[in-house]
């Protein structure tokens, strides 16, 4: 059943990866492979569990869940074969403001399967992003927007994300995605392939937003869609950039080994496709290598971490400057920032603090990067038992990027750790600050 769902045509030309579905099911990829290729389960309760978890519609199953016995199953409609076409058409009454769950399930593929329930459970944050992404098709326009206008809007969304204006990006993504999908129907050839790169870029932003909201499983689906669109574009840099999103979601979901493998494979493929002959190719190659290095630090592989950081450092020196090609923020300074992240994950608090002190934040133009460095520094100070300095670093991060601190559960958890482990002299200030930003203590 799971294998049939992964290969269903609504996912596009490529099936949903086993690693992605395994993360949703809370099991390893080898275990999922064993289930798919082993003896069919003989007990309906196991099938019930998987059907609920994957939100597989009743009209695609040969059995009903116990709670569905008194329901009428709606006949299926033909799913779209185009992975960039959501096919979303609301069946709700006009102005009702409700979500037609079955329409979402047919229209949105794997993302909808989870989001149909998530949207109803989370009225703000992640739920609002997912519901808007799936249900907002925009208003039909008399004329197709010019491609340069759409490119400008995509760049604006990516800029908002990089500067931690997450709700601004959230508000812009649905209408923009609808506009780009509409434009795809009016173009072909190179222009359609350019629009495919835009679809990939928008889903990369969506994946990043979902990670910020602590939803790695949902983020992995958005990243998978980004990769699907990038492959349709045939653009090596679009594919490699989408691979970065996949790697990030795998690391966040607790699959660092797979993240390393995919990052290294994608970086090597990009090198073969482009010979890393442009600043853009060097930047994406370096950014992939940095993602792999941080994932290696997650599994405490010091040798691999250092090897990958040094490789990224070589690419940064070849680039010769701090830059933001293809929204990577890649350059020598960013390599040092990732050395800080890796040191924190390796438990080398002193090294992390020393490295962070060498970075001039005034030379880091991207707010999200500045805040991330300060939060990593706060983690290092917490490991070191210097709770007052950790709290100072978090407060500094909020000054640079308020939503990076106020909207992220990961930062709230760090603040909670500080409040529960710090001495009384710091605890009161930590609790008051947590209450100020709405973090639980």
Of the candidates 6, 189, 173, 156, which has an alpha carbon nearest to the alpha carbon of residue 86? 173
Structure token digits, residue 341: 């992240």
Question: In degrees rounded to 5, what are phi and psi of residue 195?
Answer: -65, -35
CA separation for the pair 347, 342 (Å, rounded): 9
Tokens 């933001």 sit at which residue? Answer: 324
Q: How far are the Cα atoms of 163, 263, 384 from residue 229, in angstroms, in the given order?
A: 25, 18, 44
> Both tokens of residue 267?
């970086």
How many whole angstroms separate alpha carbon 131 and alpha carbon 174?
9
| Pairwise CA distance, residues 343 & 349, whole Å | 7
Please report the pLDDT score of residue 334 as a whole number.
97
The span from the CA of 369 to the CA of 404, in Å, is: 10
DSSP 8-state secondary structure symbol assigned to residue 253: T
Q: Would the CA dihedral through 327, 366, 259, 293 be positive or negative? A: positive
Of the candidates 194, 204, 158, 198, which has an alpha carbon nearest to the alpha carbon of residue 177? Answer: 198
Question: Domains in the chain, please, with CATH?
Answer: 1-67 (1.10.260)
Tokens of 333: 């300074």
Per-residue pLDDT in tens (0 to 9) along the chain, 441 residues:
667 767 766 555 667 777 667 666 666 666 677 777 766 555 566 676 667 666 677 767 766 777 665 444 443 343 444 544 444 333 334 333 333 434 433 444 444 444 444 444 443 545 656 754 555 444 555 678 899 999 999 999 999 999 999 989 988 888 888 889 889 888 999 999 999 999 999 999 999 999 998 888 888 888 998 999 999 999 999 999 999 999 999 999 999 999 999 999 999 999 999 999 999 999 999 999 999 999 999 999 999 999 999 999 999 999 999 999 999 999 999 999 999 999 999 999 999 999 999 999 999 999 999 999 999 999 999 999 999 999 999 999 999 999 999 999 999 999 999 999 999 999 999 999 999 998 887
pLDDT of residue 11: 56
Instruction: Give the model's pLDDT for residue 73.
Output: 42
């Amino acid at each position: 059943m799971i294998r049939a769902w992964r290969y269903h045509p609504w996912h596009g030309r490529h099936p949903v990866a086993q690693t992605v579905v395994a993360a949703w099911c809370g099991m390893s990829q080898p275990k999922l492979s064993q289930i798919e290729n082993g003896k069919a389960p003989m007990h309906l309760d196991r099938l019930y569990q998987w059907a609920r978890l994957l939100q597989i519609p009743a009209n695609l199953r040969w059995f009903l869940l116990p709670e569905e016995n008194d329901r009428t199953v709606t006949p299926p409609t033909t799913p779209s074969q185009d992975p960039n076409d959501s096919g979303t058409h609301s069946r709700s009454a006009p102005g009702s403001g409700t979500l037609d769950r079955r329409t979402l399930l047919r229209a949105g593929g794997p993302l909808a399967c989870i989001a149909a329930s998530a949207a109803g459970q989370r009225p703000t944050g992640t739920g609002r992003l997912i519901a808007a992404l799936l249900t907002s098709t925009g208003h039909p326009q008399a004329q197709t927007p010019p491609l340069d206008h759409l490119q400008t809007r995509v760049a604006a969304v990516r800029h908002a994300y990089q500067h931690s204006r997450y709700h601004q990006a959230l508000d812009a993504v649905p209408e923009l995605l609808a506009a780009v999908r509409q434009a795809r129907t009016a173009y072909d050839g190179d222009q359609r392939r350019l629009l495919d790169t835009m679809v990939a870029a928008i889903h990369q932003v969506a994946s990043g937003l979902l990670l910020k909201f602590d939803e790695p499983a949902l983020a992995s689906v958005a990243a998978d869609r980004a990769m699907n669109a990038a492959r349709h574009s045939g653009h090596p840099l679009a594919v490699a950039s989408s691979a970065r999103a996949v790697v990030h979601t795998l690391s966040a979901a607790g699959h660092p080994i797979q993240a390393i493998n995919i990052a290294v494979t994608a970086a090597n493929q990009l090198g073969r496709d482009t010979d890393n002959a442009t600043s853009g190719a060097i930047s994406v190659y370096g950014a992939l290598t940095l993602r792999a290095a941080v994932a290696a630090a997650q599994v405490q592989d010091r040798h691999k971490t250092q090897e990958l950081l040094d490789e990224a450092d070589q690419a940064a020196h070849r680039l010769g400057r701090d830059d933001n090609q293809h929204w990577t923020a890649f350059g020598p300074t960013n390599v040092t920032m990732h050395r800080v992240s890796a040191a924190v994950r390796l438990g080398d608090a002193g090294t992390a603090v020393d490295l962070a002190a060498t970075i001039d934040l005034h030379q880091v133009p991207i707010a999200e990067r500045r805040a991330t460095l300060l939060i990593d520094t706060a983690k290092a100070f917490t490991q070191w038992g210097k709770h007052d300095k950790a709290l100072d670093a978090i407060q500094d991060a909020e000054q640079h990027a308020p939503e990076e601190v106020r909207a992220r559960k990961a930062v709230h958890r760090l603040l909670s750790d500080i409040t529960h482990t710090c001495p009384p002299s710091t605890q009161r200030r930590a609790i008051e600050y947590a209450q100020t930003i709405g973090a639980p203590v």
